[in-house]
């Protein structure tokens, strides 16, 4: 360098450069261990990320499958599903709901559900709609809906308020509706009511129109028997006796058939009853029959049930009378009544030490007018157990018998527990 400035010759510069390079080399030699560890960690993290991505990919595929599965379940469910707004605007509908109204799904979105409610059902729909929002409770009702072709069908609707949270301070209320076409059910109910009406008419005919000529036949035949007995030949007296006996028996059968038909149509309302109190009344009413046959009747503690008291009384009358009737000729009847709770129902049993029933007849005995013995051996029309079966079925239960021929029988019947309701679920009463 000139001008008197600082000057380093080539040799000295070389020495300094070598020294600095040595220092850098020393530093470089110290790096590899750290770099190798760092590279290893980066590779491990990369593998972990790849595994997590693969897991996320599988999870996403599973979620998509489940989404499709539940979408299909929702879309093709046997029930129509609608979501409607505060103005009854349809915001969502499944394929079943759209098919019920006869429209493609896209044609119903943004339309108003109230447009498809029949005129005679508008008041009922609006009342339940407002009540659902006002009380924020589920509403269940039946209305008429109009299809695209103008045909009205009956629908059972369950309506439930639903909240959509847009933010912690903002939520939107909509209504979820399940819609079921019950047109066929309504037709069947109408047909059943018609049948019940015809059955009542038949009952009236059986109790009045048919019995009147029977009474006439019986009366005049008895008059003939009284006036001409011994004046005609023996065959005539026998024939007259046959006519009297047959007319009396037919009158009894008509009365029994009338009772059988009235089990379902003329039953009383259900109420909470003490079975033990009903049984005491039955035993008191059968006192003469019990005393005449030296029968012994015992019973355990019995529960309270929700039932028709008159029909439960009739049920025990039939079963106890039956047990006494079919007693062993050389042994006083012993009858025991008990109950147990099982599978949300009470199982009652009426056991006896009578003649028993052969296995092949266990089902036949519950059929109307079916007899296992001749009339000269055991009187009656064979209606008692058939009526008992109808009574139990009306209460939602079952009846059956277990028996060993020559050793006695046990009749079982069930009654549901806690069915507190004013009308029966298992029959339609005709007021």
Q: Would you place residue 428 in the very low, low, confident or very high pLDDT band (cuts 50, 70, 90)?
A: very low
Tell which residue, 332, 293, 338, 318, has the closest CA to residue 385.
318
Q: Residue 339's closest CA among 295, 305, 288?
A: 305
Asked if pLDDT for residue 315 goes beyond 70, the answer is yes
pTM above 0.85, yes or no: no
CA 312 → CA 52, 226, 394, distances in Å? 69, 43, 11
| Higher pLDDT among residues 177 and 382, named by residue | 177
Residues 6+ apart with CB under 8 A from 402: 409, 410, 412
The three-class DSSP label of residue 28 is: helix
Average pLDDT over residues 52-61: 81
What count of Cα atoms within 13 Å lies in the side-chain half-sphere of residue 273? 20
**Half-sphere exposure at residue 2, Cβ-oriented, CA atoms within 13 angstroms:** 0
| Contact criterion met (CB below 8 Å) for 326 and 358 | no
pLDDT in tens, 365-406: 777 655 554 445 545 456 778 888 988 988 889 999 888 888
Please tell me the predicted confidence (pLDDT) of residue 420: 43
Helix (H/G/I), strand (E/B), else coil: 400: strand
Find which of 21-35, 43-57, 331-345 is predicted with most confidence, using mean pLDDT: 331-345
**Residue 379, SS3?**
coil
* Structure-model confidence comparison of residues 28 and 67, the more confident one: 67
Of 191, 171, 181, 190, the residue nearest 86 (C-alpha)? 171
Q: Which of 140, 174, 146 is nearest to 159 (CA)?
A: 140
pLDDT tens digits along 73-131 = 777 788 999 999 889 999 999 999 999 999 998 899 889 999 999 999 999 999 999 99
pLDDT of residue 8: 55
* pLDDT band at residue 173 using 50, 70 and 90 as cut-offs: confident
- Which has the minimum average pLDDT: 19-28, 112-121, 145-154, 271-280? 19-28
Mean pLDDT (the chain, rounded): 79
Distance from C-alpha of 139 to C-alpha of 61, rounded to nearest angstrom: 38
């Amino acid at each position: 360098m000139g001008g008197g400035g600082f000057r380093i010759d080539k040799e000295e510069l070389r020495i300094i450069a070598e020294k600095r390079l040595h220092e850098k080399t020393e530093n470089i030699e110290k790096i590899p261990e750290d770099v190798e560890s760092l590279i290893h960690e980066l590779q491990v993290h990369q593998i972990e990320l790849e595994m997590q991505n693969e897991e996320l990919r599988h999870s996403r595929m599973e979620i998509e499958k489940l989404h499709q599965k539940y979408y299909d379940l929702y879309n093709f469910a046997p029930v129509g599903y609608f979501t409607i707004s505060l103005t009854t605007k349809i915001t969502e509908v499944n394929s079943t709901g759209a098919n019920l109204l006869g429209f493609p799904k896209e044609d119903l979105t943004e339309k108003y559900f109230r447009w498809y409610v029949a005129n005679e059902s508008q008041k009922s729909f609006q009342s339940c709609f407002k009540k659902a929002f006002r009380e924020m409770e589920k509403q269940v009702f039946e209305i008429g809906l109009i299809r695209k072709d103008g045909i009205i069908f009956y629908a059972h609707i369950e309506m439930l308020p639903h909240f959509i949270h847009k933010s912690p301070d903002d939520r939107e209320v909509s209504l979820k509706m399940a819609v079921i076409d019950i047109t066929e059910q309504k037709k069947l109910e109408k047909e059943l009511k018609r049948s019940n009406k015809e059955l009542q008419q038949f009952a009236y005919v059986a109790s009045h129109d048919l019995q009147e000529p029977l009474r006439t036949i019986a009366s005049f035949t008895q008059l003939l028997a009284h006036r001409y007995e011994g004046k005609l030949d023996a065959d005539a007296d026998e024939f007259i006796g046959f006519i009297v006996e047959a007319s009396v028996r037919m009158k009894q059968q008509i009365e029994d058939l009338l009772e059988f038909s009235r089990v379902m149509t003329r039953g009383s309302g259900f109420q909470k009853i003490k079975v033990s109190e009903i049984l005491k009344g039955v035993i008191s009413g059968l006192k003469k029959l019990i005393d005449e046959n030296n029968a012994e009747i015992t019973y355990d503690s019995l529960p309270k049930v929700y039932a028709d008291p008159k029909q439960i009384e009739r049920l025990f009358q039939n079963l106890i009378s039956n047990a006494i009737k079919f007693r062993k000729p050389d042994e006083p009847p012993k009858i025991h009544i008990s109950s147990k709770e099982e599978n949300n129902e009470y199982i009652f049993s009426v056991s006896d030490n009578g003649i028993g029933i052969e296995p092949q007849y266990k089902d036949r005995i519950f059929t109307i007018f079916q007899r296992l013995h001749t009339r000269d051996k055991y009187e009656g029309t064979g209606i008692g157990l058939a009526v008992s079966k109808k009574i139990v079925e009306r209460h939602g239960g079952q009846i059956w018998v277990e028996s060993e021929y020559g050793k006695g029988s046990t009749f079982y019947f069930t009654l549901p527990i806690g069915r507190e309701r004013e009308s029966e679920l298992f029959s339609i009463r005709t007021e």
